[in-house]
Amino acid sequence: MGVPLLDLSLQYTQLKEESDALWLDVMSNAAYIGGSKVEQIEKEIADYCGVKHCIAVANGTDALFLILEALGIRRGDEVITTPWTFFASIESIGHVGATPVLIDIEPGTYNIDPLKIEEAITERTKAIMPVHIYGQCADMDAINAIAEKHGLVVIEDACQAIGATYKRKRAGSLAKAAAFSFFPTKNLGCAGDGGCITTDDGKLADRMRLVARHGEAQKYVHTTFGTNSRLDALQAGLLSLRLIKLDEWNQQRRQAAEYYLEKLVDVGDLEMPVERDYGKGVYHLFILKSAKAPEAVSYLHEQGIGSALYYPKSLHEQEVLREIPNFKKPTLPVAEDSASKTFALPCYPGITQVQQDEVIEAVRTFYSLA
Ligand SMILES: *Cc1c(COP(=O)(O)O)cnc(C)c1O
């Protein structure tokens, strides 16, 4: 039969009537950018995350850049973050001219290791940027305590983690500000690019909004050099429809993950993903670790099953980082040992047990042959 790594069509078919009506509504009103639909989703996301402000922007990369910009992080400053993420996390630090300082991750969760943060702090350090990788929150109490002790600000890259909880609070409300992406494959995705920022800080929110709208304080009065980063009405409307379903969809991902955890626990050299008891992850990806990951991925492809390495390389190994002033390539044993050994199995809302059984059977067969 075959099982895809991700099936996005379900998010459309489950809300087909509403989505089609929305499309016609936006087309006939010809109000494409900004307006009430964008204001509405900003309010809904702020309420959902439990924060005062949400600023809709064009994508998750812009969200990170705008946060760093508004915090005044500039050339010569250092931001401590993880090499185990999508490139945008580090790219945004480079975009404001600052230097990313990459430290090692925890085995099992693949999140930034709080125990490694303090030794990386220098007089130039301004911020810590944890990434809630694969949909599980980083250990935010530990990170916030270090930040407070050293007078640093904490920024969440929550792009993979909308709906994840940490001690009953939601991702997006756990630090100074957080970035979300609505790229179609994310847990809350739109029909194109989209993103937002959440924060409780009203002054910071004003600055980010200003910079995202060409620095235009009043009509034709530009008080800073900004950029253009907006969410359009169609995406905003679609996100409002899908946000209502998000908890149910995240729960379906968790159930699918639990089924794999139960059925694959003693197969080959597979290491299961670790869930920390401080919160509930949303399984943006279900990740296994194995020395034979590349061969397993190829075998699964031959069987028609979607799988991919996440990530084939730790970002501290990217050559382009040499272009960043003062970047020092670190040695990071856990991240280096995880590269090309971690791979994803199909885990998305709507996946059936029959499909999961097919995946499990193929994984078992591969490891019995291997
Ligand atoms: C997707 C993602 C981003 C970037 O979001 P875009 O909307 O694609 O710009 C940033 N960080 C992480 C961890 C991501 O997964």
Tell me if 3 is assigned to some domain: no
pLDDT tens sequence across 38-78: 999 999 999 999 999 999 999 999 999 999 999 999 999 99
- In this structure, the answer to whether residues 200 and 293 fall within a common structural domain is no
For residue 235 and ligand 1, the question of a CB distance below 6 A is answered with no
- In this structure, the answer to whether residues 271 and 230 fall within a common structural domain is no
Tell me if 298 is assigned to some domain: yes
Neighbours of 165 (CB within 10 A): 18
- In this structure, the answer to whether residues 229 and 305 fall within a common structural domain is no
Q: Between 194 and 33, where is the model more confident?
A: 194
Range(s) of the domain holding residue 280 = 246-369
Residue 189's nearest CA partner among 229, 109, 251, 249 is 249
Q: Cα separation of 350 and 252, whole Å?
A: 7
- In this structure, the answer to whether residues 232 and 252 fall within a common structural domain is no
- Read off the amino acid at residue 19: S
Q: Report pLDDT for 312.
A: 94
Q: Report pLDDT for 331.
A: 96
Of the residues 240, 262, 291, the one at which a domain ends: 240
pLDDT tens sequence across 243-297: 999 999 999 999 999 999 999 999 999 999 999 999 999 999 999 999 999 999 9
Q: Report pLDDT for 289.
A: 98
Best substitution site from 131, 159, 229, 287 to test ligand 1's pocket, by max atoms within 8 Å of Cβ?
Answer: 159
Domain count, the chain: 2
- In this structure, the answer to whether residues 170 and 314 fall within a common structural domain is no
What's the CATH code of the domain at 184? 3.40.640.10
Task: Report the atom number in ligand 1 closest to the C-alpha of 92.
Answer: 10
Q: Cα separation of 292 and 227, whole Å?
A: 45
Of the residues 194, 210, 240, the one at which a domain ends: 240
- Reduced to 3 states (helix: H, G, I; strand: E, B; else coil), residue 70 is helix
Task: Report the atom number in ligand 1 closest to the C-alpha of 64.
Answer: 10
Task: Report the atom number in ligand 1 closest to the C-alpha of 61.
Answer: 9
Tell me if 2 is assigned to some domain: no
What are the phi and psi torsion angles at 131 (to 5°)?
-115, 125
Residue closest via CA to ligand 1's atom 14 equals: 159
pLDDT tens sequence across 144-167: 999 999 999 999 999 999 999 999
Maximum Cα–Cα distance across the chain: 68
Q: Report pLDDT for 365.
A: 97
For residue 82 and ligand 1, the question of a CB distance below 6 A is answered with no
Tell me if 151 is assigned to some domain: yes
pLDDT category at 10 given cuts 50, 70, 90 is confident
pLDDT category at 103 given cuts 50, 70, 90 is very high
Tell me if 1 is assigned to some domain: no
Q: Compute, in angstroms, the gap from residue 78 CA to the centroid of ligand 1.
A: 21
pLDDT tens sequence across 27-37: 999 889 988 99
pLDDT tens sequence across 201-217: 999 999 999 999 999 99
Which residues, in sequence order, are bridge partners of residue 165? Answer: 170
For residue 195, the surrounding DSSP H or E stretch is: strand 195-199
Neighbours of 230 (CB within 10 A): 17
pLDDT tens sequence across 315-357: 999 999 999 888 889 999 999 999 999 999 999 999 999 999 9
> What mean pLDDT value characterizes the chain?
96
- In this structure, the answer to whether residues 229 and 275 fall within a common structural domain is no
Tell me if 76 is assigned to some domain: yes
Q: Indicate the DSSP class of residue 124.
A: T
For residue 85 and ligand 1, the question of a CB distance below 6 A is answered with yes
User: Following DSSP, what letter does each residue of 24-59 receive, concatenated?
Assistant: HHHHHHT--BSSHHHHHHHHHHHHHHT-SEEEEES-
- In this structure, the answer to whether residues 195 and 338 fall within a common structural domain is no
**Is the bond leading into 311 cis (omega within 30 degrees of zero)?**
yes
pLDDT category at 86 given cuts 50, 70, 90 is very high
Tell me if 138 is assigned to some domain: yes
- In this structure, the answer to whether residues 251 and 236 fall within a common structural domain is no
Best substitution site from 160, 180, 196 to test ligand 1's pocket, by max atoms within 8 Å of Cβ?
Answer: 160
Q: Cα separation of 194 and 242, whole Å?
A: 14
- In this structure, the answer to whether residues 276 and 219 fall within a common structural domain is no
Of the residues 196, 217, 240, the one at which a domain ends: 240
Q: Report pLDDT for 11.
A: 85
Q: Report pLDDT for 279.
A: 97
Residue 293's nearest CA partner among 346, 355, 339, 348 is 339
Cβ within 8 Å of residue 289, ≥6 positions away: 270, 271, 338, 341, 342
Best substitution site from 181, 227, 282, 310 to test ligand 1's pocket, by max atoms within 8 Å of Cβ?
Answer: 181
Percent of residues, the chain, with pLDDT higher than 70: 100
Q: Report pLDDT for 38.
A: 97
- In this structure, the answer to whether residues 165 and 295 fall within a common structural domain is no
Q: Report pLDDT for 36.
A: 94
What are the phi and psi torsion angles at 217 (to 5°)?
-75, -40
- In this structure, the answer to whether residues 293 and 329 fall within a common structural domain is yes
H-type helices in the chain, by residue range?
A: 9-13, 16-29, 36-49, 60-70, 88-95, 140-150, 202-212, 233-263, 293-302, 333-338, 353-369
Tell me if 4 is assigned to some domain: no
Give the dihedral sign, CA 296/297/302/305: positive
Residue 110's nearest CA partner among 128, 83, 70 is 83
- In this structure, the answer to whether residues 295 and 349 fall within a common structural domain is yes
What's the CATH code of the domain at 265? 3.90.1150.10
Percent of residues, the chain, with pLDDT higher than 90: 95
